[in-house]
Structures are given as structure tokens and as C-alpha cells.
Structure 1
Amino acid sequence: MSQNQISPRKLPVQARARATWEAIVEAAAQLLSASGLAGFNTNAVAMRAGVSVGTLYQYFPNKDALMVALIAREQAARADALGRIVESVEEETLEKGVTILIDASVAGEQERPQLSRILDQEEARLPVSGLLRSSHAALDAHIARFLQPHFSMVPECKRQEMGRTMRVIARALIDDAINLDPPDTERARFESRTAILGYLDKHRPQP
């Protein structure tokens, strides 16, 4: 699958076009949350968005392009949310801050659990590695900023590496527990917090 096949036909500039674009992408999210991939097609998305399928095709050439736009939207929202949380915990202890970050991650996965699972699958299927690298770099930078007051003697590049490790640990453990039937949110929180604080303890300055 080429990049052209998953690129939007045009990007909205005016407010009305932007609202239409967002309505279509949100309709895709709602449809996936309610019906999964089996019910996901351009006709169904257009109907849910309240637009004609012709209008949808003005922006997206196919449902894969629409899926990529949804992935990009959700990744950007995740990075923005993390940035706001990091700002809110600047005065907290390391342990409290890690707990708040993990709680927010678990809550985020629980908002639309089926959508989260589907997007994970689609990220592996579609050629979106560049998009994900950019998104992950933004997440890692936010986590590195969270670490700065607690690891001020650690070089910035090392804090970026620590941020990446924290993100990977949390994602793996949270996904594993959330995808259980039923989801085990307490396990997700406990295992993520224990693993991340244990990892960070190895990097604390020695007296």
C-alpha cells in the first residue's frame, strides 16, 4: 500500500470544511466503537456524519485514508493530554507524578476500549510508521519534561531515553491488563507503577 493511497485528497482550510472533516473522522470513531471493523465502511461513516458519501470522498479516497486520519487525530490528542497532565504535576513528588500519569493513561484506554484495540491493530497494518515516530517523540519529550526536576543531573538526551522506556513499559503493561475479559484496571495501574518506579530508581543520583 502506497502513501498516496492513504493520504487525504485535500486538507480543510476554511472553518466549515474543517467542521465537516472533523465530523467525518468523529463518525468513524463512533462507528468503530459501536460496531467494530465489521461495520466500518465509507457509506456507514458518511451516514453517521450526516454527509453524502460524495462529500466524504472529497476528503478521503478510501476507508484506509480515513483510518489514518483517525489514528493521527487520536495520537495528537494523546500527546496534547499528556502535555497538560505534565504541567499539572510539576510540583508533585516523583512517585505521585508517576501515579497520576499512569492513572490518566489507564483512564484514556478505558474511554473507548474497542476503538483503542482497533487502532492498535490498524497501526500495525497500515504504513504509518512515520506518523507514529513523530507522535512517540512528542510523548517522550513530555515525559522527559516531567522527569527534569527529579533528574536534573541527567543529560537531556538520557531523559529522552528514559521517557521512551517509561512509555513502552506503561503501554505494554496497560494494554495487557486492559485487554483482559473483563479488563483489570487495578492490575494495569499497580504493575505499571511498580515497573516504572523500579526502573527510575536505578537512575536516581547516588548519595
Structure 2
Amino acid sequence: MRTEPIQQRSAERITLLLDAAATLIDDAGIDGVTTSAVAKRSTSSVGVVYRYFPNIQSLLRALAARNMERYLERVWQGVENSPPEPWSSFDATLDAFIDMTRHEPGFRALRFGDVIDQRFISPELSNNAILAREFASQVGRTYDFEPDDDIVFHLEVAIEIASGLLTRAFQLDKNGDARFIEATRDLCGTYLRTHIPLPRT
């Protein structure tokens, strides 16, 4: 039998540690994520945790980055399956976030790390600024043009509006307060269609 490549074993171990941290967040909140708790939940040793993550903040940062990666993957799938009407992909983008908040372990409390630090993923950009640039790139690819700073700005404004409203929607209700969710859909959808008019694809 061939031994698994070291890189593959390391990737699997990191996934196990991140999964353990996500479960701990659901059970006891972010403060419940400690090195010893992650080691126990993942059936690893404390030394193994430290081998990959020198401290809890680095582990949470990695989990936040994975959350964003998984979210953006779902966003791109929604864009590809959306009808040609301008901003038709917005609902799928919003629904992906809502579904992850409801079902992705640890996501409701951690999201992209913005609850800990607005620049948790990047030291130079806020998490919402990163999302705005990702969305702008996707819009540019879909409609075959180069997004300018105004488009990035308006996307970031819409994301900030959505972030605040969705935080409130899930603050007291694990499934999300439907009124705040629909207010998010209405306000952000209207803002995007008003400030970034797009043609049919």
C-alpha cells in the first residue's frame, strides 16, 4: 500500500481541526474555541494543533477564510444558473449567505471573522471590501467590462447594508427574522439596480 502524500495528510488534518473549531463555536461560542478543546474535539493532541496554528486567532482566521471561500463558491454557482435579467443573481447571492448562516457549522457566529475584526482576513482591506472586489470581478466577467472604483464602492455599500440587517436578522433567531431578511432583499436589490444598471446578458 502506498502511503498518503504528506501534503494530503496535512490538508486532511487541517480540515479536521477547522471542523472541530466550527462545531465548538456552535456549542459554546467563539470563546469556547481553545487549543485544548480543539485538540479534544478533533481527537488530536495539543501539539498537533500548534503545529498548524500557532494560536487560536490564526485558527479562527483560517476558518473565516474557509467560510468566505465556501460562500464565494456558492455565489458563483448561483450566478451561472441565474436568468439573464440584470441583477437576477442577487437573490441567489443573498440566499447563499442565509443558508450558510442557518446550516454551516460556526458560520452564524464567526462569518468571515468580521465579528472579531473588520480586517480579520486581510490587514489592508475590510472583509466587506474583499467581497465587494470579488463581486465586482464576477460582474465584470459576466457582462464583459472592467469594473471601476464606483462599481466597487456601490457594491461595498450594498454589502454593508446587508451585513448590518442580516446580523440583526440572526441575532435572536437561528433561522433569521423573515422581516429583516426581506428588508435586506428589497433595500440592497433596489440600491444595486439603481446605482449599477446592467444590461441583459
Instruction: Decide: shared fold, TM above 0.5.
Output: yes
- 1:33 paired residue number: 26
Structure 2 gaps of 5+ residues are: none
The offset of 1:19, in angstroms, is 0.9
User: Partner amino acid for 1:121?
Assistant: V
Tell me, in whole angstroms, the C-alpha distance in 1 between the residues paired with 2:177 and 2:105: 12
What is the total number of aligned residue pairs between the two structures? 190
- 1:52 paired residue number: 45
User: Partner amino acid for 2:185?
Assistant: R
- 1:17 paired residue number: 10
RMSD: 3.2
Work out which of the residue numbers 62, 66, 70 in structure 2 matches 1:73: 66
Return closer, same or farther for 1:13/1:87 CA change in 2, 3 Å cut-off. Answer: farther
Q: Structure 2-normalised TM-score?
A: 0.76
Structure 1 gaps of 5+ residues are: 1-11
- Do 1:106 and 1:188's aligned partners in 2 also have CA atoms closer than 8 Å? no
Q: Structure 1-normalised TM-score?
A: 0.74
Tell me, in whole angstroms, the C-alpha distance in 1 between the residues paired with 2:43 and 2:126: 32
- 1:199 paired residue number: 191
Structure 1 residue matching 2:47: 3-state secondary structure: helix
- Do 1:86 and 1:145's aligned partners in 2 also have CA atoms closer than 8 Å? no
Q: Deviations over 1:43-102 (max 9, x none)?
A: 11111112111111111222222222212222222222222222222x342364322222
- Do 1:86 and 1:143's aligned partners in 2 also have CA atoms closer than 8 Å? no
The offset of 1:116, in angstroms, is 2.5
- Tell me which of the two structures has the higher relative contact order, counting C-alpha pairs closer than 8 angstroms and 6 or more residues apart: 1
Pairing 1:109–2:101 present: yes
Which has a greater percent of helix? 1
Q: Percent identity?
A: 25
Return closer, same or farther for 1:187/1:115 CA change in 2, 3 Å cut-off. Answer: same
- Do 2:23 and 2:106's aligned partners in 1 also have CA atoms closer than 8 Å? no
Pairing 1:174–2:166 present: yes
Return closer, same or farther for 1:13/1:182 CA change in 2, 3 Å cut-off. Answer: closer
Q: Deviations over 1:152-202 (max 9, x none)?
A: 8x9621322232222222222111112134654422331112112321343
